[in-house]
């Protein structure tokens, strides 16, 4: 008989892994709500540290196909978040066969013919080092 929980998520914050798990969906939602505030505080601290260059950058392994999407954090002012006709762009990052990537993406739904082109961030630039995702 398996003792693994039915619902489980593991989140990497900095160099630490945080796991939220539960046997029922209701318990899982409750545990997520408990963890949300502390996870957000950890994320905000890391973003603020990166903004002043106090956190070493880590790159995702080349085999990773995951994409991370976040809203621009408070450390980024509206002036530094690119805008398009659909409003503020969304910071996204991930990794492909070519290595890690970062870009500002249009907030229009996928497949929308009016969706704007991504604004790719160049590796090695200050924007790359201070990017929020």
Question: Which helix or strand (DSSP H or E) is residue 100 part of?
Answer: strand 99-105
Tens-digit pLDDT profile for residues 24-80: 888 888 888 887 777 777 777 777 777 666 545 554 444 444 444 444 444 444 447
Question: Is 60 inside any structural domain?
Answer: no
Q: Which domain holds residue 96?
A: 67-130
Residues 82, 43, single domain; the answer is no
Q: Which residues contact 12 (CB under 8 A, 6 or more apart)?
A: 18
How is 2-26 classified by DSSP, letter by letter? --S-SEEEEEEETTEEEEEEESSHH
pTM over 0.75: no
Question: Is 56 inside any structural domain?
Answer: no
Question: Is 25 inside any structural domain?
Answer: yes
Residues 75, 126, single domain; the answer is yes
Q: Would you state the structure tokens that stand for residue 126, as one six-digit string?
A: 């200050």
Question: Is 43 inside any structural domain?
Answer: yes
Question: Is 106 inside any structural domain?
Answer: yes
Question: Is 61 inside any structural domain?
Answer: no
What is the pLDDT averaged over residues 104-126? 90
83: three-class secondary structure by DSSP: strand
pLDDT tops 90 at residue 114: yes
| Length in residues, the chain | 133
Residues 31, 71, single domain; the answer is no
Residues 71, 125, single domain; the answer is yes
What is the pLDDT averaged over residues 100-125? 90
Question: Is 115 inside any structural domain?
Answer: yes
Question: Is 2 inside any structural domain?
Answer: no
Residues 76, 125, single domain; the answer is yes
| Domain count of the fold of the chain | 2
Residues 72, 117, single domain; the answer is yes
Rg, C-alpha atoms of the chain:
17
Q: Cα–Cα distance between 103 and 122 in angstroms, integer?
A: 9
Mean pLDDT, all residues of the chain: 75
Q: Which residues contact 40 (CB under 8 A, 6 or more apart)?
A: none
Residue whose pair of structure tokens reads 């950890």 in the numeric block = 42
């Amino acid at each position: 008989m398996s003792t693994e929980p039915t619902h489980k998520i593991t989140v990497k914050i900095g160099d630490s892994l945080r796991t939220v798990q539960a046997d029922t969906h209701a318990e899982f939602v409750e545990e997520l709500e408990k963890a949300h505030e502390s996870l957000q505080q950890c994320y905000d601290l890391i973003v603020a540290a990166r903004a002043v260059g106090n956190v070493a950058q880590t790159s995702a392994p080349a085999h990773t196909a995951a994409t991370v999407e976040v809203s621009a954090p408070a450390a980024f002012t509206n002036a530094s978040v690119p805008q398009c006709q659909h409003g503020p762009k969304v910071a996204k990052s991930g990794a492909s066969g070519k290595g890690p990537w970062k870009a500002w993406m249009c907030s229009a739904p996928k497949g929308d013919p009016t969706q704007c082109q991504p604004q790719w961030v160049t590796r090695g630039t200050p924007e790359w080092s201070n990017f929020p995702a």
